[in-house]
Amino acid sequence: MNTKVNNDFTLIISRSVLALALLLIGLNDYHGLIKLPHVSAAGSDFIVALQETGYLFWTVKIIEIVAALALIAGVFVPLATLFVFPVLVNILMFHTFIDPGIGTFIALLMMSCAGYIFYAYRGMFKFLWHYNLAIDPNSFEEEAQVPKPRKAIRVTHHIS
């Protein structure tokens, strides 16, 4: 199995679609790039409440823009996707429960792209699913229970 994920065409498309959507959403409040459809009264109240916190709305926008730039550049792709995932979950929940419409489809598309990126980089997240039950977190004798890492084999070439 080929473990190189950078040359996967589907991954490039997923990264590009997610990055474009995040960049448009993130920059839209600064520059008005696209005209958004009418938002319901409950949706408008929710957005105003986020803006009135003074920090949360702009923090989300900065995360969207930085993650989009990282996805476009192909730098720290798993980390960028991991950072933006809670934002995507909130976008999906907002458009599913507060303001259903075309935004739900776009949110599902963005979640699908993020899901494929997670799948493509699944090897980087394997450590999250391993838990060693033999280790007691309150024990001072953990070093004896943790398996030692293998030592690297050093190969030296002698020129005759």
Residue 54: give the domain boundaries. 9-131
Q: Judge whether 153 lies within some domain.
A: no
Q: What is the pLDDT of residues 130-160, one digit of tens each?
A: 766 565 566 655 555 555 556 655 556 555 5
Q: Judge whether 139 lies within some domain.
A: no
Q: Judge whether 24 lies within some domain.
A: yes
Token reading at 30: 């600064």
Q: Judge whether 98 lies within some domain.
A: yes
pLDDT of residue 1: 45
Q: Judge whether 151 lies within some domain.
A: no
Q: Judge whether 137 lies within some domain.
A: no
Strand, coil or helix: what is 31?
Answer: helix
Total domains in the fold of the chain: 1
Q: With cut-offs at 50, 70 and 90, classify the pLDDT of residue 129.
A: confident
pLDDT of residue 62: 95
Q: Judge whether 73 lies within some domain.
A: yes
With 90 as the cut, is the pLDDT of residue 116 above it?
A: yes
Cβ contact 107:117 at 8 Å = no
Rounded CA-CA distance 42/105 in Å is 19
pLDDT of residue 135: 59
Place of tokens 């398996």: 147
Q: Judge whether 142 lies within some domain.
A: no
Rounded to the nearest integer, the mean pLDDT of the chain is 83
